[in-house]
Amino acid sequence: MPDIAYEQARHGSSIGQPLTRRDGFLKVTGGATFAADNRPEGMLHAVLAVSRIAKGRVAHLDVAAAEAHPGVVAVMTPQNAPKLAADPDAKNDPFTFRLDLLQNDRVRYAHQPIAVVIAETLEAATEGAELLAPRYETEAPRIGLDTAEPHKPQAVGAGDKTAATKGDIEAGLAGAARRIEAVYETPAQYHNAMEPHAIVAQWDGDRLTVDTPSQGMTMATMRLAGLFGIDPKNILVRSPFLGGGFGSKGFLSGPQVLGVMAAKLVDRPVKLVLRREQMFGPVGHRAETRQTLRLGADGSGALTALDHHTLTATSSHDDFYEPASALSRYLYAAPTLSTTHSGVRVDTGTPLFMRAPGEASGSAALEAAIDEMAEACGVDPLVFRQMNYAEAEPISDRPFSSKALRECYEQGAARFGWERRSAAPRSMRDEAGRLIGWGVGTALFPALMMQAEARAEIRADGSGVVAIGAHDMGQGAWTALAQIAADGLGLDLDQLDFRSGSSDLPNGGIAGGSAHTATAGSAIHAAAAAVLAQLSDLATNDENSPLFGAGNAGVYASKGRLIRRDDESRSESFTDILARAGRASISASGKGAPDPAARESYAMHAHGAVFAEVSVDPDLGQIRVTRLVGAFAAGRVVNPRLVTSQYYGGMIWGVSFALHENAVVDPRTGRVMNPNLGEYHVPVNADVPSIEAILVEENDPHVNPLGIKGVGEIGITGTAGAIANAVYHATGVRVRKMPITLDKLLG
């Protein structure tokens, strides 16, 4: 009953409200149980030993010394690791990533787990792991885009085409009045959620319970079922709270599975928590890229050609390619277009999805190139974007399901004060004499939909229950999805029991691709609509109801009552309807999924524009981002407070991308040399003095019944490029290798 439901959302009192997090109190008082907070009876502590070499084999481990250490219960190595029911190197589908689970002595990357020490205390396990004193047979690692072995990707990102072209790119470039060609580089970045990967695993015969942060509990269940040869019904994954994920908790990682193996080995509950440095290897990262952009424009400043090629790295043993050229298929209206990728194999952990995979690094390069093209044409960089953004998706010519990019440019520019920008580089200074630069970048992220199911129920007392195995990775799913559920059922939030975060609930899909609210929300919405349809059947077919004869479409629900549309004075409470029908409750299920017909007809993306101000010390090159204004249009805003917070988070990551993050890999050893938050820099409050997000209104009738697009990732896109462009405007120096640090300005 999509239209009852749609009306419902409009009439409802929860969607659109800036509610604070419903779990906020629990979180700030320590009442929220994160995975590592669980301590089942008899629990042991497991600590990973990880490889210091990047390629070769483990020749010797002093297992006897570790075993002799007081408190150590067992040492798990390839000698005694439980045999698995499936080869963890088997590649059944592109998203089953190969895991290193102590099945042999081979080392494929630095920080690969090589043993697990299990002890009565964390200290004993840590000390035991030190005593292993591994010796290696070392081979020279292949590190970096130049020294490594070329490898042709079959697909990039989540199964995207490696190449997509339109028209004759060489002709488009040759015929251009102005051309630019530039190479941009982005470094490897490592997921560093506040909560490192952690697991508490308990076996009871062939039943397994795990507490572990997950962005995809059903996928985790299926992976565990396959590896251990048990029925998925015997597995319970609990993940009520995550301290961030950013893509690295989408698939179960090797260390999490090792925790389950350790529990099996010792036949006791085991907790395994990664140390911060162990996050730099076995749980994914954003691979480095080298992107070559060639752009052409005619004499009026209209793009004639856009060629975006990405060279990126994957691991020696698995395939994930950062799809950095892909966003050039969707954004600017060049009549000739080429977007391609090539790869190399290196001896690192396998790269993985990381917040705005592809779009983040691709946008950092594309937005800088657009700036260079605008300058070559002598056109203001904002005006150039306003002239050249696509009215229909360039690669497919499909219309956008909705598109408020022009409003994003206008509202962002007005708020930022862009018209006061003086065009020439090095022409703006503050009172202290620091160079000021203003830059802009376009933001974009696809509006994806995954698959999810939910169950909804209305009980005789008039209260509601909505259940879905959804994932709150910090973005606020407990709150936003409950708001959708409350409106879906026509209840106030305090009448709703919202259950989530556990794999024994209906499959909530995955929290990824910025699609969780849209997908899980659609499932909830459909389940709630199905319950209301049953309820209105009961009432409107009953002569004793004031709703008799109104028909299903003739009523809507609000505040625990069904109300006639044609006469709002006539209504009946859920309680009365159920009581007269003699029902204790009614329930129904619903699904969320993409609508293939709509997706054939329309291209679906969220859009935005980000404006950045930097100040640069003219002598020392020290860079500060002093202001960020982002304007984003992403369909219906379920909760403006949480959506704003997502945009802030994304934009702050854009600052991180442009100025801070850089995993430095020693080419001799293949080790990340800064595997800690002291030396792997991310922005702190002082790095982002002023940040604003404007929620641009957008009604998208095609994307899903609720009109929701994702907001989790788009904030990074646009921002890194805007900052690079602002640094150029401040200094006159184009730094094409991120992060932009002061040495690159002075060099």
| CA gyration radius, the chain | 27
Give the active site residues: 713
Give the number of residues in contact with ligand MOS, rule: CB under 6 A.
Answer: 11
Residue nearer to ligand MOS on the CB measure, 452 or 616: 452
For the bound state, the minimum distance from the C-beta of residue 214 to ligand MOS, rounded and expressed in Å, comes to 11
The rounded distance, in Å, linking the Cα atoms of 718 and 740 is 16
The rounded distance, in Å, linking the Cα atoms of 284 and 320 is 10
For the bound state, the minimum distance from the C-beta of residue 246 to ligand MOS, rounded and expressed in Å, comes to 6
Residue nearer to ligand MOS on the CB measure, 301 or 649: 649
DSSP assignment, residue 400?
B
Residues 624 to 683: which contact ligand MOS by CB under 6 A?
A: none
For the bound state, the minimum distance from the C-beta of residue 289 to ligand MOS, rounded and expressed in Å, comes to 16
Say how many C-beta atoms besides its own lie within 10 A of residue 276's C-beta: 13
- For residue 599, give the 3-state DSSP assignment: helix
Region from 22-30, 348-356, 385-393, 732-740 binding ligand MOS, contact rule CB under 6 A:
348-356
Residue nearer to ligand MOS on the CB measure, 379 or 448: 448
426: which 2 tokens?
Answer: 């090095």
Region from 98-106, 350-358, 370-378, 551-559 binding ligand MOS, contact rule CB under 6 A:
350-358
Residue nearer to ligand MOS on the CB measure, 117 or 352: 352
For the bound state, the minimum distance from the C-beta of residue 249 to ligand MOS, rounded and expressed in Å, comes to 8
- The 3-class secondary structure across 704-731, one letter per residue, is CCCCECCCCCCCCCCHHHHHHHHHHHHH
437: which 2 tokens?
Answer: 């630069």
570: which 2 tokens?
Answer: 């006539």
For the bound state, the minimum distance from the C-beta of residue 247 to ligand MOS, rounded and expressed in Å, comes to 3
Residue nearer to ligand MOS on the CB measure, 352 or 555: 352
> ∠184-187-189 over CA atoms, to 5°?
140
Region from 242-250, 435-443, 579-587, 680-688 binding ligand MOS, contact rule CB under 6 A:
242-250
The rounded distance, in Å, linking the Cα atoms of 88 and 573 is 55
The one among 111, 355, 455, 729 contacting ligand MOS by CB under 6 A: 355
Q: Residue 517 belongs to what H/E stretch?
A: helix 516-540
For the bound state, the minimum distance from the C-beta of residue 368 to ligand MOS, rounded and expressed in Å, comes to 22
For the bound state, the minimum distance from the C-beta of residue 722 to ligand MOS, rounded and expressed in Å, comes to 21
The one among 192, 215, 315, 388 contacting ligand MOS by CB under 6 A: 215
Residue nearer to ligand MOS on the CB measure, 56 or 213: 213
Region from 204-212, 245-253, 294-302, 397-405 binding ligand MOS, contact rule CB under 6 A:
245-253
Residue nearer to ligand MOS on the CB measure, 247 or 281: 247
- Spell out where 585-730 has E strands: 585-592, 605-616, 623-633, 691-695
Q: Tell me: does residue 247 bind ligand MOS (CB under 6 A).
A: yes
For the bound state, the minimum distance from the C-beta of residue 19 to ligand MOS, rounded and expressed in Å, comes to 23
366: which 2 tokens?
Answer: 């594309």
- For residue 95, give the 3-state DSSP assignment: coil
Q: Tell me: does residue 449 bind ligand MOS (CB under 6 A).
A: no
Region from 239-247, 550-558, 577-585, 659-667 binding ligand MOS, contact rule CB under 6 A:
239-247
Q: Residue 259 belongs to what H/E stretch?
A: helix 254-266
Region from 41-49, 244-252, 314-322, 671-679 binding ligand MOS, contact rule CB under 6 A:
244-252
Query: Facing residues of 599 across strands?
Result: none
Residue nearer to ligand MOS on the CB measure, 351 or 513: 513
Q: Tell me: does residue 353 bind ligand MOS (CB under 6 A).
A: yes
The one among 252, 354, 405, 413 contacting ligand MOS by CB under 6 A: 354
Contact (CB, 8 A) for 144 and 667? yes
For the bound state, the minimum distance from the C-beta of residue 515 to ligand MOS, rounded and expressed in Å, comes to 8
The rounded distance, in Å, linking the Cα atoms of 122 and 584 is 50
Residue nearer to ligand MOS on the CB measure, 572 or 661: 661
Q: Tell me: does residue 441 bind ligand MOS (CB under 6 A).
A: no
- The 3-class secondary structure across 442-511, one letter per residue, is EEEEECCCCCEEEEEEEECCCCEEEECECCCCCCCHHHHHHHHHHHHHCCCHHHEEEECCECCCCECCCC
Residue nearer to ligand MOS on the CB measure, 353 or 602: 353
Residue nearer to ligand MOS on the CB measure, 249 or 459: 249
> What φ, ψ does residue 173 adopt, rounded to 5°?
-75, -40
The rounded distance, in Å, linking the Cα atoms of 111 and 164 is 36
Question: Nearest-CB residue to ligand MOS?
Answer: 247
Region from 119-127, 241-249, 318-326, 698-706 binding ligand MOS, contact rule CB under 6 A:
241-249
Look at residues 532, 527, 533, 531 and name the one whose alpha carbon lies nearest to residue 507: 527
Look at residues 106, 181, 544 and name the one whose alpha carbon lies nearest to residue 369: 181
Q: Tell me: does residue 725 bind ligand MOS (CB under 6 A).
A: no
Exposure string (b/e) for 410-426, b if CB count within 10 Å is 16 or more?
bbbbeebebeebeeebb
For the bound state, the minimum distance from the C-beta of residue 250 to ligand MOS, rounded and expressed in Å, comes to 5
x/- contact string, 305-344, with ligand MOS (CB under 6 A)? ----------------------------------------
Say how many C-beta atoms besides its own lie within 10 A of residue 39's C-beta: 10
The one among 250, 469, 621, 683 contacting ligand MOS by CB under 6 A: 250
The Cα-based distances of 251 to 106, 111, 449, 510, 662 in angstroms read: 23, 18, 18, 10, 24
Region from 300-308, 349-357, 459-467, 560-568 binding ligand MOS, contact rule CB under 6 A:
349-357
Residues 498 to 527: which contact ligand MOS by CB under 6 A?
A: 512-513
> ∠96-99-100 over CA atoms, to 5°?
170
Query: Facing residues of 610 across strands?
Result: 441, 630
Can you give the binding site for ligand MOS, defined by CB under 6 A? Answer: 215, 245-247, 250, 353-355, 357, 512-513
